[in-house]
Amino acid sequence: MSTRSGHLFRVAVFLGVLGHVATARATSPTLQAAKVCRKTITSQGRAYAKKRLALLNNCVDKLLKCEILLEVDNTNANNCRSLALSSCTGRIGPVPDSTLSRAQAVFDTRFVTACPSPGTVYPFTKITSDNTVADGLWFGEDSTCGGSGDSPTLAACLRGEIDARVDGVAGEVKPRAAILLDNTPLGANFPNLP
């Protein structure tokens, strides 16, 4: 075999072995579980955020309609407010069967199902320089949720971060949202509205 052919043969064998190692590493159960968990966090977080924003905007629109009746038409808005509050309570109220509470439960359940608690498949924290903590999803870097010790706690913490961001967006899109909700018993459930 010529030197050039021998060199090409060694390179081909090396790349074949390297490809085999990369394939084995890419299909490890831990990596696959982490990918499923991350994908679930992303998709369920996005779905929950959209649902929360839509429900909040819908409620604020109903309450705003009542205020406009009073401010522009000088019409008694009590009946409108009562209907709006009833609808809003069913959608975003703190009761377990409200639409928002059910969306929260779906997020939490799907998160916990896809992301087992640390130690069962992978931990949520980062490898330190002395290799004392293993890494799975890097939530140890999150200043708010980094200390979450299990999946339900992490799910609730991340949902809280989503809530704050969505409420901030809702407050920017609907500037009177905080005032309108504060005039109802529902205002206390949305402390992050600006």
Q: How confident is the model over 21-49, as pLDDT tens digits?
A: 444 455 677 777 778 888 999 999 999 99
In a domain, 114, yes or no: yes
**Domain that residue 76 falls in:** 30-189
In a domain, 19, yes or no: no
Predicted TM-score of the model (pTM): 0.76
pLDDT, the chain, mean: 80
Answer yes or no: is 25 within a domain: no
pLDDT, tens digit, for every residue of 127-174? 444 444 444 555 656 677 777 777 888 889 899 999 999 999 999 999
Percent of the chain with pLDDT over 90: 53
Confidence check: pLDDT of 84 > 80: yes
Which pairs count as long-range contacts for 41-47, CB under 8 Å and 24+ apart, including other chains? Answer: 41/111, 41/114, 41/115, 41/158, 44/106, 44/107, 44/110, 44/111, 45/107, 45/158, 45/162, 47/107
Q: Which two tokens stand for residue 142?
A: 């999150």
The answer to whether residue 183 is domain-embedded is: yes
Residue 1 lies in a domain: no
Q: Is residue 5 part of a domain?
A: no
Inside any domain, residue 180: yes
Q: Indicate the number of domains in the chain.
A: 1
